[in-house]
Amino acid sequence: MELQGYSVDGGTRISVRMDKGVITNCLELEARQDDRYVSPGFVDIQVNGYKGIDYSSEAFTSGQLATMVRYLAAAGVTRHLPTITTAPQERILGFIEKIKQARAGNALLSHAVPGIHIEGPYISREDGPRGTHDAAFVRNPDLREFHEWYEACDGLLKIVTLAPELPGAMEFIKAVSALGVVVAIGHTAASRETILEAIDAGASLSTHLGNGSAAKLPRLRNFLWPQLASDALSASIISDGHHLPPELVVVLSRTKGLDNLILVSDVAPLGGYPKGNYAWGNVSVAVFEDGHIGLPGTEILAGAAHLLDWDIPHFMRYTKVSLEKAICLCTDNPAKLIQLEHPTCAFIAGAPADVVQFGYDGQGDCLRIMQTVINGEVIYSQA
């Protein structure tokens, strides 16, 4: 099997050849007029659900995981972390079990879903920072609960997002990061001092920085500045045009540096739905005319409606960075963060055959995905 197109990392027209789930070689081809690109598959470390599938719902079934992998493949995503939001302990453990059941004996799903991200339940109880997480299940960090997740996951637990101002958070951060699990700061109303203490304790990621926040913050001493300034923290951001204004995307890219920035979709179960009012668990949310999802009558967002094929060109438009550099924010950078087996996401012999072919003219809102190969299998092909 092979995919041809211009390489995103240099503009050379290439053929990426694959066999038995791995890349065998990459050959340079003669240049010709062609609007196709080939890239390593995209890695999304924050996926809550899509088109009605909800990773945090009791209605989620292990059989839906394959459907989700195919939905995401249509956007060029070859690997993702299912993200469960604030929920009772038994539901979190049930979710973990369903993911494990779906992956068991299935080489494609085991590859496409290399881990789990648990966002909450240890987050701020305040309106605004809490976002649309269900307040009934918000609670303080509990290492006993965490160890139940950790043992149930059998190595799949990659990221835990929490608010560091909660009682017991610093002990939690130290213990969890020592096990190699990424501890992320998010959905927080912490003081500057608390953020700095959390970084010293081992926090290494800011989850969707700039979101999950109160509408108004102290001008100078707030939780954003120390996260922006810290070289010890990578940051994930949502560059869909709704979660962050273009100017803030530019500031984030300059302050964090492109090597420390990760594009995530944060896509929600209502992503892909038409305009209207819906229920997300116990919370009433709306899909608006402009495509964003939020709480009716407020400025509070409720996850995202778009995937990485939308976010990449918007990030490029705002920051003026090249396609090559933008692609790294959802390939190399997340792969390194969660310690995938080939963190460089390069077309080298023996690397996983995760390849996306797409068209992009530099003008549209979205990449035009043509084919997506996951672990050597064509999962999406443009009709």
Question: Cα–Cα distances in Å, from 291 out to 244, 276, 316, 382, 383?
Answer: 14, 10, 20, 23, 25
Region 214-236: what's the mean pLDDT? 95
- pLDDT for position 369: 98
- pLDDT for position 326: 97
Region 72-85: what's the mean pLDDT? 98
What are the structure tokens assigned to 55, written together?
A: 């990773």
User: Where does 202-259 show beta strands of DSSP type E?
Assistant: 205-206, 234-237
- pLDDT for position 279: 83
pLDDT higher than 90, residue 280: no
User: Lowest-confidence range among 148-157, 195-204, 308-317, 337-346?
Assistant: 337-346
Q: What is the pLDDT of residues 119-138, one digit of tens each?
A: 999 999 999 899 889 999 99
Is the CATH number of domain 40-343 3.20.20.140?
yes
Question: What is the domain partition of the chain in residue ranges?
Answer: 40-343
Q: What is the pLDDT of residues 58-75, one digit of tens each?
A: 999 999 999 999 999 999
Q: What is the pLDDT of residues 160-173, one digit of tens each?
A: 999 999 999 999 99
Q: What is the pLDDT of residues 137-148, one digit of tens each?
A: 999 999 999 999
- pLDDT for position 344: 73
> 260: alpha, beta or left, given left = phi > 0 and alpha = psi -120 to 50?
alpha
3-state SS, residue 271: coil
- pLDDT for position 198: 98
Cis status of the peptide bond prior to 88, with omega within 30 of 0: no
Say how many C-beta atoms besides its own lie within 10 A of residue 276's C-beta.
9
